[in-house]
């Protein structure tokens, strides 16, 4: 008769059962798969970087690698090209350009360069980009001068928006531009240009336009005569003066001004000498009668 050999219990132990159940938990499985390697790597990295010498060496190595990449020839800007600008504006842009070329394109902030250029009085708009071949291109749209604004202190060059874009020392420097004067004149320079165009049929030399009380214009002729225009309908009032002048040579007479502020009742003011002559003739006429 053979002895009976006891069989091992197939049931897992309590500890083994708990471990198997734990391994079936998704959170625990993710922790073992991802969390444990991360902790190991973090521990190794922390141990390595615990030394200040190693930290400094690592930072310097990273900076050197970055410098080598940024200074590669394909990333270098070697030339500044200013397009669409006059010589004086080009000189101004090159003078205020804040970078020394050649420079890495990574170091250039194009938006800051564009804003800096657009802050120049003579520049209306600027577009800045890097062209292939290491060329920084600034495409400039300049403000167009349309008039000279005369103040007590200076003779300013202004554009159609009334923006001051320069200063001249004498009228002869920009004899091609009309002159406006008075407070508020730059704000209404577009209307002034329209009036000057409407005055061309007069066929007379014009001194310019003066803004009166920031409300209306006086058109000044070269011989000192003035045409006082209304606040509204100034062009139409000027056209009436042109018609009267064409019919009766009104502005060719010894007048001081033509007042058109009341459109239905134009008023003419004579010069002092003309007024004295008129009184003399009137007295002689009355004496004769």
The pair of structure tokens assigned to 98 is 């804040």
CATH number of the domain enclosing 112: 3.10.20.310
Last residue of a domain, one of 123, 142, 161: 142
168 within some domain = yes
The pair of structure tokens assigned to 222 is 């070269």
Element (H, E) at 261: none
Gap between the Cα atoms of 79 and 101, Å rounded: 7
131 within some domain = yes
Instruction: For residues 211 and 108, state if they share a domain.
Output: no
Q: How many domains does the chain have?
A: 2
The pair of structure tokens assigned to 92 is 């101004």
What does pTM read for this prediction? 0.66
Closest CA to 62 of 75, 49, 73: 49
pLDDT reported for residue 285: 54
Gap between the Cα atoms of 285 and 261, Å rounded: 32
Instruction: For residues 132 and 169, state if they share a domain.
Output: no
Instruction: For residues 264 and 166, state if they share a domain.
Output: yes
Burial (CB count within 10 angstroms: exposed 0-12, middle 13-18, buried 19+), residue 59:
exposed
CA torsion sign for 65, 68, 69, 71 is positive
Gap between the Cα atoms of 177 and 131, Å rounded: 38
pLDDT reported for residue 221: 92
Q: Mean pLDDT in runs of 10 for the chain (289 residues)?
A: 58 71 74 79 79 79 75 84 91 92 88 94 93 92 94 92 91 92 94 94 90 94 91 92 86 86 84 56 53
Write out the residue range of the structural domain in which residue 121 sits: 74-142
Say how many Å lie between the first and final Cα of the chain, rounded.
Answer: 181
Residue with tokens 């970055």: 66
Instruction: For residues 201 and 252, state if they share a domain.
Output: yes
53 within some domain = no
């Amino acid at each position: 008769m053979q002895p009976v050999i006891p069989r091992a219990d197939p049931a897992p132990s309590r500890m083994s059962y708990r471990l198997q159940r734990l391994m079936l938990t998704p959170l625990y499985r993710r922790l073992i798969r991802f969390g444990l390697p991360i902790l190991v790597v973090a521990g190794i990295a922390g141990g390595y970087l615990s030394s200040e010498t190693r930290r400094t060496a690592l930072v310097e190595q990273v900076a050197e690698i970055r410098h080598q990449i940024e200074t590669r020839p394909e990333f270098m800007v070697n030339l500044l090209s200013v397009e669409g600008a006059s010589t004086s504006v080009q000189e101004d842009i090159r003078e205020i350009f804040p970078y020394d070329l050649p420079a890495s394109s990574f170091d250039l902030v194009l938006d800051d360069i564009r804003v800096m250029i657009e802050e120049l009085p003579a520049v209306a708009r600027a577009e800045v980009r890097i062209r292939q071949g290491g060329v920084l291109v600034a495409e400039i749209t300049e403000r167009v001068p349309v008039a000279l604004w005369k103040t007590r202190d200076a003779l300013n060059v202004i554009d159609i928006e009334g923006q001051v874009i320069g200063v001249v020392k004498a009228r002869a420097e920009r004899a091609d531009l009309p002159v406006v004067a008075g407070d508020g004149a730059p704000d209404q320079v577009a209307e002034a240009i329209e009036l000057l165009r409407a005055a061309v049929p007069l066929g007379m030399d014009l001194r310019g336009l003066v803004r009166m009380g920031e409300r209306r214009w006086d058109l000044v002729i070269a011989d000192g005569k003035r045409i006082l225009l209304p606040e509204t309908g100034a062009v139409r009032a000027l056209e009436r003066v042109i018609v009267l002048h064409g019919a009766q040579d009104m502005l060719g007479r010894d007048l001081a001004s033509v007042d058109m502020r009341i459109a239905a009742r134009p008023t003419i003011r004579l010069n002092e000498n003309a007024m004295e002559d008129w009184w003399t003739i009137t007295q002689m006429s009355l004496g004769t009668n």
